[in-house]
Amino acid sequence: MNIVLNGIRFGDTELCSNQSETLRALVHEQFDPASLLVNPLNTLFFTRDPAVVVGDGIILNHMYWPERDREVALYRQIFTHHKIMGETPVCDLNRSSYHIEGGDILVISAKTILVGISDRTEPAAVESLAKELLTSNKFQTTELIAIRVPSDGLRIHLDTFISRIDHDAFLIDREICNAVDAYSIQLKRSGKGLTITPIDRTIPEILSAACCEPIKVIDCGGGNQTAYERERRNNATSILALSPGKLCVYEENVWTNEALEKAGMELFPLSIDELTKGYGGTNCLCLPLWREDL
């Protein structure tokens, strides 16, 4: 496992042995023992991207960067051979022609999933996912809601714009509310093919309908424009709900955290530097395997 994580260097193989007797040596192009033959899995801590749990099953994704598909291969081995998880239903999109990443897949309820159309997730991949989930009796999903994710160069997935934090509450980045481009995807009544319908609603209205109740919205930055610009860069909107109303947050996002506390949330803060130097919010770095019914 150490080799898988740290990569393989030329010096770890036989390629560097007896180089003095090779054509490489004669033309002065010997292998450098310190150079990497196989790169390390240095993005493995973004656990939600390669795989996402939906209902009682797992979705294996097709990563945007080809090297990250090796992470998906590790998940496939776990959910194929693990003595506890080996019987898990699998929706395998990894061999699809289209890219999709777990940061763009948000489980809102047992029946409804939000999927971001982003720089990392293509519309065709969302359709492929919908066909797999809606036509399978192994998943409970009855509707996918596709939402266009703003591209601002800082955040690339839907989960950096929307986080469910309680039964009836969401933390939302106002940027995604300002340009709503959303679609409902359901199975046709005949059971063959998909019905895709534009949704003429705001993000809070979409979420309220998905939750079957009115929701409360907490704004990134707590309504402070200066704090918003700073804290959105600190992934203030991508937080991990340990349970409803109990949230793991970054302590540096002071204004957002204050707004959450005023809304009655219990916070478990930690420093950005303590968690990761690879960027991303607390939600980006955790893969929930099992959820209680809300």
Residue 284 designated active-site: yes
Selection from 69, 70, 92 nearest residue 80 by Cα: 92
Distances (CA, A) of 25 to 28, 29, 176: 5, 6, 57
H-helix or E-strand spanning residue 38? strand 36-38
Tell me if 59 sits within 8 A of 33, measured CB to CB. Answer: no
Rounded CA-CA distance 159/224 in Å is 21
Strand 182-187 versus strand 194-199 pairing type = antiparallel
Which residues, at least 6 apart from 214, have a Cβ–Cβ distance to it below 8 Å?
168, 208
Q: Which of 16, 211, 248, 284 is catalytic?
A: 284
Q: What is the 8-class DSSP label of residue 212?
A: T
238 touches 158 (CB < 8 A): no
Instruction: Please count the CA atoms within 13 angstroms of the CA of 191 that sit on its side-chain side.
Output: 3
> Which of helix, strand or coil describes residue 255?
helix
User: Which of 229, 173, 181, 172 has its CA nearest to residue 201?
Assistant: 181
* Secondary structure, 3-state, 73-90: HHHHHHHHHCCCCCCCCE
Q: Which residues are known to be catalytic?
A: 284
